[in-house]
């Protein structure tokens, strides 16, 4: 009897990591959590430069989800933590992978759709021009560039450009639900900003598909096929909850409360399309917003 393939997973305790770990285990993979900001065995620390290379040897795949939370006020210190955790942590990991005797077949590293910028009037896919104007675009540029030692070392490398992940168990939707359940929700800003999103189960399946599909490498937009405006999102969520959802939150309030973080996240205007996934044959279980939100709330 052959041993199960080992998957090294950073960020295993987060929203995505927990769901991915459970799904991989049901498929027969052995999931090994690899702790970030950890100076001992089975982990790495981008601040000290420590990494347990022995734990990485012989793994089938390495999936890198770890990084400082974006959802905080962006002080100078917070910005440095966000940037360094992604840039330096990813570089440390990818350099270690490139130097292994038994390299993994694939390295999957999380990124974000803000690699394309903050505001785009046209629909974008993986072939679209990228941008580094703004904090999040600059972070995602550094984040993706940090994977080059792995790809240069011959490891198939996938860059998952992720958007808003819909789950009632965490992330942005969990924060929105109390207000919407009270009938106090509504569109943010003018309501016309396009937003990209993906249901958590679809994201988990897309990560596994990217891992198991040998032809997939480079950027992959981890977004549903149908984007939505802020107004459409609010209206759909209100309909599902059977609550009014017409109380708008002006953009200046977001800026006042959240500062630059709010302007570059909930006020950005970006519609990404998952061309690589669709052309590669990936099938979304919840490709439309209504089905994705219903599933998320059932969780």
Q: What percent of the chain has pLDDT over 90?
A: 89
| Model confidence, pTM | 0.96
Give the model's pLDDT for residue 144: 98
Mean pLDDT of the region 121-127: 94
Planar angle of CA 223, 228, 232, nearest 5 degrees: 145
Q: What six digits make up the tokens of 150?
A: 């792995």
Give the model's pLDDT for residue 1: 52
Q: What is the topology classification, in CATH, of domain 6-230+258-298?
A: Rossmann fold (3.40.50)
* Cα(49)–Cα(55) distance, integer angstroms: 16
* Cα(190)–Cα(231) distance, integer angstroms: 8
Give the model's pLDDT for residue 254: 86
pLDDT confidence of 277, banded at 50, 70, 90? very high
Q: Does position 257 have pLDDT exceeding 90, yes or no?
A: no
Instruction: State the alpha helices, DSSP H only, in 99-245.
Output: 135-145, 148-152, 171-181, 200-212, 230-241
CB 261 within 8 A of CB 73: yes
Q: Domain limits of the chain? A: 6-230+258-298
Which distant-in-sequence residues (6+ apart) come within 8 Å of 101 by Cβ?
A: 57
Provide the angle, in degrees to the nearest 10, between the axes of the packed helices 171-181 and 230-241. 60
Give the model's pLDDT for residue 190: 85
pLDDT confidence of 27, banded at 50, 70, 90? very high
Q: What is the mean pLDDT of the chain?
A: 95
pLDDT tens for residues 151-201? 999 999 999 999 999 999 999 899 899 999 999 999 988 899 999 999 999
Residues β-bridged to residue 199: 166
Which distant-in-sequence residues (6+ apart) come within 8 Å of 125 by Cβ?
A: 221, 272, 273, 274, 275, 276
Q: What six digits make up the tokens of 277?
A: 């996934």
Phi, psi of 118, deg, nearest 5:
-115, -35
Number of residues that this document lists for the chain: 299
């Amino acid at each position: 009897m052959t041993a199960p393939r080992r998957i090294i997973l950073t960020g295993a305790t987060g929203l995505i990591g927990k769901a991915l770990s459970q799904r991989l285990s049901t498929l027969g993979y052995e999931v090994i959590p690899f702790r970030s900001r950890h100076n001992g065995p089975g982990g790495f620390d981008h601040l000290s430069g420590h990494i347990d290379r022995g734990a990485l040897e012989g793994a089938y795949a390495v999936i890198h989800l770890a990084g400082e939370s974006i959802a905080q006020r962006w002080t100078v210190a917070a910005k440095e933590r966000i940037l360094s955790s992604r840039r330096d942590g990813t570089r440390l990991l990818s350099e270690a992978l490139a130097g292994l005797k038994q390299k993994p077949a694939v390295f999957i590293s999380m990124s974000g759709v803000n690699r394309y910028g903050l505001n785009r009037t046209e629909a974008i896919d993986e072939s679209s021009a990228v941008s580094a104007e703004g904090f999040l675009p600059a972070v995602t540029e550094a984040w993706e560039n940090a994977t080059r030692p792995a790809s240069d070392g011959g490891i198939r490398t996938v860059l998952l450009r992720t958007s808003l992940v819909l789950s009632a168990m965490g992330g942005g939707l969990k924060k929105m639900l109390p207000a919407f359940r009270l009938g106090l929700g509504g569109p943010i800003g003018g309501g016309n900003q396009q937003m990209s999103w993906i249901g958590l189960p679809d994201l988990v399946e897309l990560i596994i598909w990217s891992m198991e599909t040998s032809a997939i490498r480079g950027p992959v937009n981890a977004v549903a096929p149908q984007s939505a405006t802020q107004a459409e999102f609010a209206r759909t969520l209100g309909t599902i909850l059977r609550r009014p959802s017409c109380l708008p939150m002006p953009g200046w309030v977001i800026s006042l409360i959240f500062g630059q973080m709010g302007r570059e996240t909930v006020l950005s205007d970006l519609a990404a399309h998952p061309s690589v996934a669709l052309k590669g044959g990936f099938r979304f279980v919840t490709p439309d917003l209504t089905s994705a939100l219903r599933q998320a709330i059932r969780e």
